[in-house]
Structure 1
Amino acid sequence: MSPTPPVRRPRIAIAGIAIESSTFSPHRAGLRDFHVVTGDDLLARYDALAPGGALADRADWLPVVYARSIPGGPVLPEVYADLRQRILDGLAALVADGPLDGVFLDIHGAMSVVGADDAEGDLVTAVREVVGDTPVLSAAMDLHGNVSRTLITRTDLLTCFRMAPHEDAWDTRERAMRNLVTVLARGERPLQAWVRVPILLPGEKTSTRVEPARGLYGRLPEVEARPGVLDAAIWVGYAWADEPRCHATVVVSGWDRDEITAQARSLAEHLWDVRDDFTFVGPPGTLDEAVDAALAATERPYLISDSGDNPGAGGTGDVTWTLARLLDRPELTGPDAPTTLCASVFDAEALTVLAAHQVGDTVTVTAGARVDSGPHGPVTLTGRLVHLSEGDPDAGRVAVVAVGGLHVVLTQHRQAYHTVTAFERAGLDPRTADIVVTKIGYLEPELYAIARGWTLALTPGGVDQDLARLGHHRIDRPMYPFDTFDTAPDLTPVVL
């Protein structure tokens, strides 16, 4: 008897482009905004693929190209074309070497490209053209992404984060990989029940830290565990892009058509029924109200979110509206003022000026509003230079100018100050400060942990929490909360 030939492990490619793009932000994402990873460095991103990892021996994992940027404005078309072509060329080379069984796509879902709609839909369409219809495509996404008909039609498996803030991001990527190898082992593609839900809300109103999102997303593991179901996902959608694909979405995948259809409808109806219950995750207020509360607080540090220019959601990072108002508060700029950190404004020219000085010098510098001058123009600071450094992997040069108790962080490039570590690299400790003002929406875990008080300041910018103030005109209407509904929308799942 002839020996049984060895079973070939599936060949799975890994690729993706991830950025969250506000179409209301004048920033344009260039190649420098992206960190591009290939080869072993790409494989090393995923603990599940490390030697001894949960999925390392389940397939031959083949790295192609992964490009990731902090959120910003739309991607320049030539930059997207370059990154897209690198992925397609890498996939073509793999296909030439032998059969490709699957592709794992690590994407965000809210990438916009100048002059185009549905960037992720375009990307997966191009991937399909290279790899063909046989390989199974599985994508891991941010829950603030968008699921267009094109995207779900071209992919076989979609899943997304179940927490906001996204503390389960790596669990989600592993789940998308695990779903892929499960499908390949079974040898049968699942069905996907897709529901477009006409709701578009900012992430700060849909955090899973609080109800109703906590209970809604809390249902997903139970749905996923039902017989005939593989995965269940809810996308809030991305509120700061003005594209037809921007809306909430429910997808339930599996092999039992009736079950996935029933569960997708149930989740969509649940989401619709609680639409009026979504409120800001943190106490909202004007900037003046936030500063007044911070000054009156007896426990420190008090955190203030400069939410309208949050680079973690797509803001430019150089809006000076908040900084200008802080400088006008003598309680913050006097010699006995509380220690207040204000992060940050990026301006390469301002950092060139400051680099000619020494720490301890009194300096005057004009900064900000070079990209987004809509809410306020550039601001001139006169104060003491208390920190100057180079080589930050994201921010480049970093300076801190103290005007009384107000410590203003200036950077060469866009930088989100969403962690304690980011502040420490600028020579600052937010844990011992009295007040911390940073361009953020809901507080990310490290800042949330240190906050002894918090106001979500409703400030202007490219990711303004007041969606009506932004002026959407291309989203499909009617859409909650922009419109009223006399009757419930059709939430019948489409099975693909």
Structure 2
Amino acid sequence: TNVARTFTKPFHIGIAGLSCECSTFSPLLSGERDFLVSTGDQLGANYAFFADYSDITVTPLIRARAIPGGSIEPDFYDRFKAQLLEGLAAHAPWDGIYLDMHGAANVHGRDDVEGDMLAAIRKVVGPDCVISASYDLHGNVSQRVVDSIDMLTAYRTAPHLDYYETQQRAFALLMRALHEGVKPHMAFRPVPVLVPGERSSTEWEPAASLYAAIQPTIDQFAIWDTSILIGYVWADEPRAMGCTIAIGLDAEQTNAAAHALAQQFWAVREGFQFGVTSGTVDECIHLAMQETATPVVISDSGDNPTAGGVGDIPYVLSRLLVAGVESALVAAITDGAAVAACEAAGVGATAALTIGGKQDPIHGQPLPVEATVVSLHELSWPANPRAGVAVTTNHVAVVQVQGVTVVLTERRTPFHHIQTFTQLDLEPHVYQIVVVKMGYLVPEINQLAKRALLALSPGAVNQDIEHLPYHRLRRPMYPMDRTATWS
């Protein structure tokens, strides 16, 4: 039955969200200090497209966002959820709810946090309210998520260039349901494939063609929308896997669309490989030292803070020093204590430092070095806040260790923009080797690189997924189980 109740205008719509990609292999937990919680107008300011609709009243409730990290502290999640449910009850009744999600959160010791959150929302708002969610394509979807909401649409690009368009699309789907007075059917097809983003960028095959099939599928089956989710590989829980989702009024056509995309997804599974040359850390350093076109950018992929890594493993730095590299830049290693030691020593001083390996002692060891303090800085953090983000200070030290310039940061800091380097008086173009704690290179850093290499380095988001210590993943799962069959 597609018929929903007849709504009266203006439609009353609530906004909420939870966004944190959580590696269950990280020894750290994400809590209050990691999350940027926005409410009210601060939250509403993120969605300029609300202005496109004259027949809505929007009540922004609460959204919590964090850069990827470890599992969420249960107390933090429980407080967030209670505040959200109180807001929903206080401002009822609702015609629609838009949820700005990521989809790969994990609460320590619990499963399927999004399923828990969305089921709780549904219980408060009732069966008639239309709920639409936008997801990252690295989200893990469960049956409980699908059963709790009416629509889910995901990013179509990785690196993610379309997050705003995806939010807009999720909201447009919600408004379509309200305007037409219907509830569409949502088909969900889990696919037992789980690969990292570094093997499934939409910039190269097979993901490029797989994602290019989305619009033709919508047209062919005459449905509203369809999504392909790659899933999040560093989550040891039963829901972790890829999936396809389709939304439409005709259940048969909607099911057929989700099924067709799922079959295409499964058919290309063996094609999900790294889009750039990959190798051990030493192999990548050796290749980079031979290269005449510079800089060569090496991804320290296992300790990538934008995927859930801790960001403090100094292993690549240690190997650069062993190799005697004469011109390298490492950005960055998170180590507040080392930054404080540099501040105490002062610019120009030589300091005995112990770099990194403090927060993630499972995957890295502290590295003792003699370093010259080149410069000290205070940056705002996060570097490019969106509306509703509480900005704090990030103390940074740039040091020289033999031939290597090392950026030490107080907080986990992604180096996604050249501007982040230039703020520290660094010119990344002049180095033979630039090491970034990243997976696939984001566009600006990719432009910097004359050659890109992906180092299979240790960390909480180790790319050697076939050997991760999974205990709770559903099996068989490709590529952990090479001979897996599925239909």
Structure 2 length-normalised TM: 0.93
Which residue does 1:131 correspond to in 2? 125
Residues 358/300 of structure 1: CA separation in 2 closer, same or farther (3 Å cut): same
Among candidates 440, 450, 453, match of residue 451 of structure 2: 453
The corresponding residue for 1:15 is 16
What SS class does the counterpart of residue 350 from structure 1 fall into? helix
What percent identity do the matched residue pairs reach? 42
| Correspondences of 1:190-229 after superposition (within 5 Å) | 190-226=184-220, 228-229=222-223
Tell me if the contact between 1:320 and 1:375 (Cα under 8 Å) persists in the aligned partners. no
1:323-376 per-residue CA deviation (whole Å, 9 max, x = no partner) reads 22122222x2xxxx22x2102221222222222132222222112111211233
Are the counterparts in 1 of residues 314 and 356 from structure 2 also a CA contact under 8 Å? yes
Letter in 1 for 2:362: G
Give the TM-score normalised by structure 1. Answer: 0.92
- Asked if the contact 2:221/2:254 (under 8 Å) is kept, the reply is no
- CA 1:91/1:482 → structure 2, altered by over 3 Å: closer, same or farther? same
Mapped to 1, the partners of 2:352 and 2:156 lie a distance apart of 46
Separation in structure 2 between the aligned mates of residue 301 and residue 79 of structure 1, nearest angstrom: 42
Quote the residue 1:360 is aligned against.
Answer: 348
1:370 aligns with 2:361: no
Cα distance in 2 for residues equivalent to 1:11 and 1:93: 13
Deviation at 1:392, TM superposition (A): 2.6
After superposing the two structures, state which structure 1 stretch, 477-486 or 306-315, moved more: 477-486
Q: SS of the residue aligned with 2:22?
A: coil
1:31 is aligned to 2:19:
no
1:494 maps to which residue? Answer: none
Question: Which aligned pairs between 1:83-482 and structure 2 lie closer than 5 A?
Answer: 83-95=80-92, 99-226=93-220, 228-330=222-324, 332=325, 337-338=326-327, 340-394=328-382, 396-482=394-480
Asked if the contact 1:228/1:255 (under 8 Å) is kept, the reply is no
Query: Which residue identity does 2:122 align to in structure 1?
Result: R
Output the CA distance in 1 between the equivalents of 2:459 and 2:9: 53
**Whole-Å Cα distance in 1 between the matches of residues 417 and 62 of structure 2?**
27
Question: What does residue 3 of structure 2 align with?
Answer: none
What count of residue pairs does the alignment treat as equivalent? 471
Q: For structure 1, list consecutive stretches of 5 or more residues without a partner in the other structure.
A: 1-5, 491-496
Conserved in 2, the CA contact under 8 Å of 1:13 and 1:63? Answer: yes
The CA deviation at 1:7 is: 6.0
Q: Shift of residue 239 of structure 1? A: 0.5
Alpha-carbon distance in 2 for matches of 1:354, 1:58: 57
Equivalent in the alignment of 1:3: none
AA of the residue aligned to 2:184: P
Instruction: Map 1:45-64 onto structure 2 (within 5 A).
Output: 45-49=46-50, 53=51, 55-64=52-61
Letter in 1 for 2:381: P
CA RMSD of aligned residues (A): 1.7
Whether contact under 8 Å (2:29, 2:70) holds in the other structure is yes
What is the distance in 1 between the residues matched to 2:423 and 2:19? 25
Structure 1 CA distance for aligned equivalents of residues 482 and 290 of structure 2? 40
Give the deviation of 1:469 after TM superposition: 2.5
SS in structure 1 at match of 2:224? strand
Question: 1:409 Cα deviation (Å)?
Answer: 1.1
Deviations, residues 77-98 of structure 1 (Å, cap 9, x unaligned): 1111122222222222211xxx
Q: Distance in 1 between matches of 2:425 and 2:106?
A: 35
Shift of 1:268: 0.6
2:411 and 2:458 map into 1 onto residues whose CA distance is: 21
Q: Secondary structure at the match of 2:340?
A: helix
Partner of 1:79: 76
Contact 2:364–2:459 (CA under 8 A) maintained in structure 1: no
Partners of 1:226 and 1:108 in 2: CA distance: 28
Q: Could you say if the C-alpha distance between residues 470 and 193 of structure 1 is closer, same or farther in structure 2, counting changes exceeding 3 Å?
A: same
Out of 257-266 and 306-315, give the one that drifted further: 257-266
